[in-house]
Amino acid sequence: MNAFDYWSISRGALATVILSLASIALGVPLGLGLALIRWAKVPLLNRFVIGYVSLIRSCPAVTLTLLIFFALPQFGISLDPTPAAILALTISTAAFNCEVWRSALVNFPREQYDAALSFAMPRALRFRRIVLPQIWRASLPGLVNEMTLQIKSTPAVAVIGIVEITRAALRVGARTYDPLPPFIFALVLYGLIVYVLIKTQRVIERRQPVERRA
Amino acid sequence: MGDFLIVWQQRGDVLEGLAGTLGLLVVSAIASLVLGALLTPALMSRRAAVARLATLYVDAMRCAPFLLFVYLIYFALPSAGIRMSNWWSGAIALILYNTAYMAELLRGAWRELPSSMIESGRAYGFSGFTLLRRIILPPVFTSAMPMIGNQVVQIVKDSAFLTIIAVTELTHQMNGIQATYFIPFAAFITAIALYWAICLVIESMTGLLSKFAEERRA
């Protein structure tokens, strides 16, 4: 493996990071929206979200990516590989994030909500000031956990020709006839990305002092 | 609707793919559960070297994406002189990868186990493997049942990656049909529906098993 090989795998890492960040940035708020639909028990949408989460949680990322990339053009929407990959990853991560947010919402102490209600806080303010800061803190470990899983499922988008870490490593291995070193290097890169994520979570947790309960 | 008719006409291929996925699932779920149960005592070992080695393996697997591990087995083992068919490469990758996850979740359940239980087992003269089999593992398995179910669903989802090394499984067969008849929507929707059905069956089975375990304990 020469310097160029290391560089090409690192460029793959850039693709992995960009795809993951884009799908996380879209999927986390989307998951929150879905969780709020279930929390508020919006009549028809509630059933829809239950079905969506159940379906996506059992759907392999590879199959979903293939479906989006090959089937959408049948309906006249043709996407380039990168948007198709981001869409597939977002759809899958939103379902998992929905479950994380929802469990935080279910465990949210009811009396605080009632207290805010008795101060006549409007709905939006009630959510922004009372609910969100607390469920955000409760959901953070679960969300970061899901992000690490998300990074590990990005190789699925290699089936539609995106060159991310795993595929870049495969290419280097195919060229040098020695697949072990590029795979080890790829493993180190994945380890690094996951490590940075977990470190970031620790930093955020430290900056938010946990209030002491008497 | 015509597209789904074509999928129905190709039901032989679809069923072959479904059988492939189910075969991989059964083999790797059972093997990784058994190997995971054997690895758990090593994780909990009092000997530092053994515990560190087992933890290193589990952590390495938890950092690696499944596809990378498949490539490692599929491309790197032959250069070390070990050759096997695509199906076996895929199955072994699934087994070794999920063994680490099974061991980790069994370890979690084991740590929740009250130590008085193990101590009273020892007091009754159980030791070594018998202690493990009779006293420790039964409650560990029953309390870990929902998480084992989740991991089995994960095996189903991971098995779809094996289409990349051309193992005959559901996604691979459906991709073949899709490419032959140009019916991507019908083919992949059928695949997703079948995956959903498999996972719903797994979930209801783990639900039944935990209910059965609860009744036996009561």
Among the listed residues B79, B171, B32, the one whose alpha carbon sits nearest the alpha carbon of residue A183: B79
- Where residue A145 falls among pLDDT bands split at 50, 70, 90? confident
For residue A161, tell me if it sits in a domain: yes
Contact A166 B65 (CB under 8 A): yes
Identify the weakest region by mean pLDDT among B76-85, B101-110, B200-209. B76-85
pLDDT in tens, B47-73: 889 999 998 898 888 888 899 889 888
Selection from B199, B193, B168, B205 nearest residue B23 by Cα = B168
What pLDDT digit, counting tens, does each position of B78-95 carry? 877 888 888 999 999 999
pLDDT bin (cut points 50, 70, 90) of residue B32 is: very high
**Predicted complex ipTM exceeds 0.90:** no
Q: Which residues of B touch A154 (CB under 8 A)?
A: 65
Q: Which residue of A has its CA nearest to B165?
A: A159
CB pairs under 8 A between A and B: 118
Question: In the 8-state DSSP scheme, what is residue A208?
Answer: S
Q: Inter-chain contact A170–B79, Cβ cutoff 8 Å?
A: no
Give pLDDT, residue A98: 93
Position B118 scores a pLDDT of: 86
Asked if the structure places residue A54 within a domain, the reply is: yes
CB contact under 8 A, A187 and B63: yes
Residue A115 counted as domain residue: yes
pLDDT band at A15 (very low <50, low <70, confident <90, very high): very high
The pLDDT of residue A213 is 45
The total domain count for chain A is 1
Q: Is A81 domain-assigned?
A: yes
The pLDDT score that the predictor gives to residue A210 is 58
A211 found inside a domain: no
Alpha-carbon Rg for chain A, nearest whole angstrom, is 20
Expressed as residue numbers, the domain containing A33 is 3-206
Task: Identify which has the larger pLDDT, A207 or B205.
Answer: B205
Q: State the pLDDT at residue A92.
A: 92
Any chain B CB within 8 A of the CB of A78?
A: no
Inter-CA distances, A35 with A28, A78, A92, A98, A106, Å: 10, 30, 14, 5, 10
Provide the pLDDT confidence category of residue B211 given band limits of 50, 70 and 90: confident
Task: Please check whether residue A214 lies inside any domain of the structure.
Answer: no
Instruction: Provide the pLDDT confidence category of residue A35 given band limits of 50, 70 and 90.
Output: very high
Task: Centre a 10 Å sphere on the Cβ of residue A65 and count the other Cβ atoms it contains.
Answer: 27
Which top CATH class is B2-217?
A: mainly alpha
3-state helix, strand, coil in chain B (%, to 5): 90, 0, 10
* Residue A120 DSSP SS3: coil
Q: B112-126, pLDDT tens digit by residue?
A: 888 888 889 899 998
Q: Indicate whether A212 belongs to any domain.
A: no
pTM of the model: 0.84
- The CATH number linked to A22 is 1.10.3720.10
Chain B residues closer than 8 Å to A16 by CB: none
pLDDT given at position A211: 53
The pLDDT tens digits for A148-207 are: 888 988 988 888 888 889 889 988 988 888 888 898 899 899 989 988 988 888 888 887
A183 with B72: Cβ contact below 8 A: yes
Confidence at residue A77, expressed as pLDDT on a 0 to 100 scale: 85
